[in-house]
Amino acid sequence: MSRPLVIVESPAKAKTISKFLGTAFDVRASVGHVADLPSKGLSIDVDNGFKPTYELTDRGKQVVKDLKVLMKDASELYLATDEDREGEAISWHLLEYLKPKVPVKRMVFHEITKSAIEHAVNNPRGLDYGLVDAAETRRLLDRLYGYEVSPVLWRRVNRGLSAGRVQSPSIRLIVERERERIAFVTAGYWDIELLTATRPSFTAALVLLDGTKVAAGKDFTPDGRAKKNVVVVDEARARAVAAAFATAEFSVRSVEEKPYRSTPKAPFMTSTLQQEGGRKLRLSASQVMRVAQGLYERGYITYMRTDNVVLSAEALAAVRSEVGKTYGAKFLSSGPRQYSSKIKNAQEAHEAIRPSTPLRSPDALAGELNGQELSLYRMIWQRTLASQMADASGTTVSVRLGAVTTVAGTPTDAEFAASGTTITFPGYRQVYVESVDESDASDDEREALLPPLTVGAVIPVASLTPNGHSTSPPARYTEASLIKRLEELGIGRPSTWASIIQTVQVDGRPMPNSSNRLISDASV
């Protein structure tokens, strides 16, 4: 029986779509690109309009051979590759190699649900040659740049080295960071920690001496000099001030209350999943992708290579219903939250990375998944649910304590600061809190639980402790922070970030003694 042949990129996707379309359609996978420039030689005729020579890849040969057999019985051909630059190119190559004699339609969809697939079948379009040209241009530029510049490295640095549009700027980032670290001049400074004898007690940090800001880490330039209008406290002064104020009477100078409000993060896309997988689960980017691939292939999550944070309408409804059921209506955001990718050049061919529907909780899957799979799935589950939950809210209280006393014969005014946030309604934080790279975390904004305080009240002091500190250079990139930076710069794609990490490391392995932070000795 003659039936339409539908070609998608991923075999797992073919299986799912086949279920929606039934036996009236034959759904197959191209398994990615089927054709490419040969790896040997430039294969671009630079003197004749940059005409490329393509050839089928090893797997492409088999794929095209099989598809050609199926084409003999096909009534129509639906090219259903991803609706992005590379997907359009794959469809174009399929067309070139299959040379179909039956009607050809290009069908596109951005979520894999029955209604989306049926809509796509009923609303086909033609091939978008603008996108095909864009993909080809991208491919040719990468080849020209990579294959022309790499030999310079073989001659001048070492055989086998390589340069490229993505790897060279990646190395540059790492090298620039390392140079910043080498050029960094450490500065020392002291501060004083005041511990109150209130109930509960809290700590406050010295912030002003005679009205001048006391220098903390942020107040030094990378060459070790203090910025303007701050006073750098050295050890002797810190000890003298702490000793002198030990018997001083501190009172509350100001109490400032501000409402605290925090909004959940968008659902995962590839880059954010890799970053959180690194920070929360201590997995490398490639480990995250391997585990996610397994979850995807067995139908637990949606596609894991995506630059989109949007949930399908069906998923949105399921997530909101799940939140309401598990946490109550109070924990649901007032209306559906719509997120959009802030990433430039986002192509958004797929949905966000989320649990597939019907939703199954991590606890329900504990018997089916191994440890890593379960923890990654749980993280995806929590982030997805949290994205449709209410804001967390509360109050942030900032308090200033002050006293005047004589230090070495001079009357001196010292002011200490503390702040604390009380969360009165956890909202999404009940489920998921994003972690931050340690280098981004601020260390001088300690959060404390504060007792009720009124201006003018005398605060008993338990102790004043001088502490020495020194400034530290900017941290080396981790896999997570490098991927974040690359994405901000529009370098690389969801399918390549994990492998970039391997490429820029010596022998593709982490450097020894670098606590898994990335440094590189290449010099592109």
Partner DNA sequence: CAGTGAGCGAGCTTCCGCTTGACTT
- Which residues does the annotation mark as catalytic? 303
Q: Which of 4, 7, 13, 196 binds DNA (CB under 7 A)?
A: 13
Pairing assessment for the beta strands 51-52 and 44-45 based on DSSP bridges: antiparallel
Closest contact distance (angstroms) between CB of 382 and DNA is 25
Pairing assessment for the beta strands 74-79 and 104-106 based on DSSP bridges: parallel
Stretch that binds DNA, among 326-334, 402-410, 416-424, 490-498 (CB under 7 A): 490-498
- A 10 A CB-CB count for 495 gives 14
How far apart CA 188 and CA 471 sit, in angstroms, is 7
Question: Using the rule CB under 7 A, is 172 a contact of DNA?
Answer: no
Tokens for 191, please give them: 């501060």
Residue whose pair of structure tokens reads 């449709």 in the numeric block: 388
Question: Using the rule CB under 7 A, is 76 a contact of DNA?
Answer: no
Q: Which of 19, 41, 73, 186 binds DNA (CB under 7 A)?
A: 41
Question: Using the rule CB under 7 A, is 72 a contact of DNA?
Answer: no
**Cis ω before 336 (30° cut-off from 0):** no
CA atoms within 13 A on the CB side of 204: 29
Question: Using the rule CB under 7 A, is 477 a contact of DNA?
Answer: no
Q: Which of 450, 494, 501, 522 binds DNA (CB under 7 A)?
A: 494
Stretch that binds DNA, among 151-159, 230-238, 257-265, 415-423 (CB under 7 A): 151-159
CA atoms within 13 A on the CB side of 122: 7
Question: Using the rule CB under 7 A, is 9 a contact of DNA?
Answer: yes
Number of residues forming the site for DNA (CB under 7 A): 52
Q: Which of 82, 83, 136, 415 binds DNA (CB under 7 A)?
A: 82
Question: Using the rule CB under 7 A, is 154 a contact of DNA?
Answer: yes
Closest contact distance (angstroms) between CB of 350 and DNA is 8
Q: What are phi and psi of 452, to 5 degrees?
A: -65, 135
Q: What is the 3-state secondary structure (H, E, C) of 219-240?
A: HECCCCCECCCEECCCHHHHHH
- A 10 A CB-CB count for 54 gives 18
How far apart CA 128 and CA 189 sit, in angstroms, is 62
Burial label, 236 (beta-carbon count in 10 A; 0-12, 13-18, 19+):
exposed
Q: Which of 16, 18, 32, 172 binds DNA (CB under 7 A)?
A: 32
Closest contact distance (angstroms) between CB of 95 and DNA is 17
Question: Using the rule CB under 7 A, is 168 a contact of DNA?
Answer: yes
Question: Using the rule CB under 7 A, is 159 a contact of DNA?
Answer: yes
Question: Using the rule CB under 7 A, is 475 a contact of DNA?
Answer: no
Question: Using the rule CB under 7 A, is 87 a contact of DNA?
Answer: yes
Question: Using the rule CB under 7 A, is 36 a contact of DNA?
Answer: yes
Residue 79 DSSP one-character state: E
Q: Which of 86, 111, 219, 479 binds DNA (CB under 7 A)?
A: 86
Question: Using the rule CB under 7 A, is 263 a contact of DNA?
Answer: no
Does residue 412 contact residue 248 with C-beta atoms inside 8 Å?
Answer: no
Does residue 461 contact residue 196 with C-beta atoms inside 8 Å?
Answer: yes
Question: Using the rule CB under 7 A, is 59 a contact of DNA?
Answer: yes
Q: What are phi and psi of 407, to 5 degrees?
A: -115, 120
How far apart CA 25 and CA 28 sit, in angstroms, is 10
Question: Using the rule CB under 7 A, is 28 a contact of DNA?
Answer: no
Stretch that binds DNA, among 27-35, 72-80, 124-132, 370-378 (CB under 7 A): 27-35
Closest contact distance (angstroms) between CB of 393 and DNA is 39
Residue 499 DSSP one-character state: H
Judged by the rule CB under 7 A, the positions of this chain that interact with DNA are: 9-13, 29, 31-33, 36-37, 39-41, 57, 59, 82, 84-87, 138-139, 142-143, 145-147, 150-151, 154, 159-168, 293, 297, 303, 305, 347, 492-496, 503
